[in-house]
Every structure is written in structure tokens, then in C-alpha cells.
């Protein structure tokens, strides 16, 4: 239902092939969207049928032909309409929290929380590097377009930071409660 519109979004910036759109999902939008190439190709076919996009075939010597897609005016209109629509409530399905809720082996739990921390820390680091490399200037010096892209990154950073400090709290609360043997003050 939504992939359609996300594709319209990335195509609204510039014409791209299905392959490039898939990469865009991994790189630029990785923070808030993902799709496999099969899904993308399938959707592109449907959208072409619905006249939301058109493609021109480019013959290349050696490499396979590529279909470069771009928006039609109908596609652009559909995008505008969708952008103005309010969003429904966000569905959150979190397997990690399900396991935390249910897992009574503290050994297993420790592994899960460590893995969660590691994943969060890894993402955070990636996001911070992207921020440093592509958004070095202060926000008020950015164009509005860039500022919005930057804010999506800031969102990812804020989330990951919150996750990391939560994970520390959780570790303390679940594992460091050897209150008797550990020195409470000083030493």
C-alpha cells in the first residue's frame, strides 16, 4: 500500500532505474524504509500499468538494458495528494521486547540485550558519520529540502541514543543487582 508512494517520492527527485531505487532504499532511506529488488520491480510494473510512471529503455553496450523510470503528471498528483493525507497510528512490532517480556533465562536475556545495544550503537555510529559528512553546516544554513532530510537523520540519531541509554538502564536493573557483594559507595 505504501511502497508505491515511497517510490513516487524517490522518483520525484530524479529519474531512476529499479536497481537504483532499491539502492536508494538501502542507502538514503535506510533509516526509515526498506524494500527488496523483487518488490520494487513488481511495484514498478503495477505503477506503470496505472500510468503513475513511465520508463524509457536505454540500450547499453555490454551491460543489460536499463529501464529509467520517471513520474507522469498523474503520478506527481497522486504523490501530492498522499503527502497531504494524515497518517494513521504507527504500528510497532518489536520482537526484541517480546523476548525481553517472556525470557526468564538471564543468560539468554543478556545476549539479547547485548545484541540490541550493539545494533543500536552500530546504527548510531553510521548515522553520526553521515551527519558529519553530508550535513556539516548548522541547520539554519541549510536549504529547506536539506533541512528536512537532515531532520530524518536526527530522528534516527535521537531514537538510537534513547535506545542505548535504555539498554544501559536495563542491564543495570537486570544484571548488576549483586547489591551485597558490590561496593555501594566509595572504594
Partner DNA sequence: TCAAACATGTAAGCCGTTACATGATTCT
Partner DNA sequence: AGAATCATGTAACGGCTTACATGTTTGA
How far, in Å, CA of 37 to CA of 19, rounded? 7
Reading the block at residue 111, the C-alpha cell is 545476549
- List, as one string, the DSSP characters of the chain: --HHHHHHHHHHHS-EEHHHHHHHHHTTSTTT----HHHHHHHHHHHHHTTSEEEEEE--SSSPPEEEEEE-HHHHHHHHHHHHSPPPPPP---HHHHHHHH---HHHHHHHHHHHHHHHHHHHHHHHHHHHHH--S-GGGS-HHHHHHHHHHHHHHHHHHHHHHHHHHHHHHHH---TTTS-SS--
For the CB of residue 62, give the shortest distance to its own copies in the complex, in Å. Answer: 35
Q: Which positions from 118 through 157 interact with DNA, judged by CB under 7 A?
A: none
Residues touching its own copies, count (CB under 8 A)? 64
Question: In the Cβ-directed half-sphere of 118, how many Cα atoms lie within 13 Å?
Answer: 6
Query: CB under 5 to 8 A by kind: which of DNA, its own copies, none does 128 bind?
Result: none
Q: Is 35 in the site for DNA (CB under 7 A)?
A: yes
Select from 36, 45, 74, 108 the one that contacts its own copies (CB under 8 A): 108
User: Which residue, 64 or 136, has its beta carbon nearer to DNA?
Assistant: 64
Q: 147: how many CB neighbours lie within 10 A of its CB?
A: 14
Query: CB under 5 to 8 A by kind: which of its own copies, DNA, none does 36 bind?
Result: DNA
Q: Which positions from 4 through 33 interact with DNA, judged by CB under 7 A?
A: 4, 17-20, 23
Q: Which positions from 51 through 70 interact with DNA, judged by CB under 7 A?
A: 60, 62-67
Select from 13, 32, 38, 56 the one that contacts DNA (CB under 7 A): 38
For the CB of residue 58, give the shortest distance to its own copies in the complex, in Å. Answer: 26
Residues contributing to the site for DNA (CB under 7 A): 1-4, 17-20, 23, 34-39, 41-42, 44-45, 60, 62-67, 91, 93
Residues contributing to the site for its own copies (CB under 8 A): 2, 5-6, 9, 12, 29, 31-34, 79, 83-84, 86-87, 89-106, 108-109, 111-112, 115-116, 119, 139-140, 144-145, 147-149, 151-152, 154-155, 158-159, 161-163, 165-166, 169-170, 173-174, 177, 179
Amino acid at each position: 500500500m505504501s511502497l508505491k508512494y515511497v517510490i513516487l517520492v524517490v522518483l520525484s527527485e530524479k529519474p531512476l532505474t529499479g536497481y537504483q531505487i532499491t539502492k536508494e532504499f538501502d542507502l538514503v532511506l535506510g533509516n526509515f524504509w526498506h524494500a527488496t529488488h523483487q518488490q520494487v520491480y513488481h511495484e514498478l510494473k503495477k505503477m506503470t500499468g496505472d500510468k503513475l510512471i513511465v520508463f524509457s529503455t536505454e540500450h547499453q553496450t555490454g551491460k543489460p538494458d536499463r529501464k529509467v523510470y520517471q513520474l507522469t503528471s498523474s503520478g506527481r498528483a497522486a504523490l501530492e495528494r498522499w503527502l497531504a493525507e494524515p497518517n494513521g497510528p504507527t504500528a510497532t512490532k518489536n520482537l526484541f521486547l517480546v523476548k525481553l517480556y517472556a525470557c526468564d533465562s538471564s543468560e539468554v536475556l543478556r545476549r539479547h540485550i547485548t545484541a540490541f545495544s550493539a545494533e543500536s550503537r552500530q546504527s548510531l555510529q553510521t548515522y553520526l558519520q553521515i551527519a558529519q559528512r553530508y550535513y556539516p553546516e548548522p541547520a539554519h544554513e541549510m536549504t529547506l529540502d536539506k533541512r528536512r532530510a537532515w531532520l530524518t537523520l536526527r530522528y534516527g540519531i535521537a531514537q538510537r541514543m534513547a535506545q542505548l541509554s535504555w539498554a544501559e538502564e536495563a542491564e543495570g536493573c537486570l544484571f548488576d543487582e549483586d547489591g551485597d557483594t558490590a561496593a555501594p559507595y566509595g572504594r
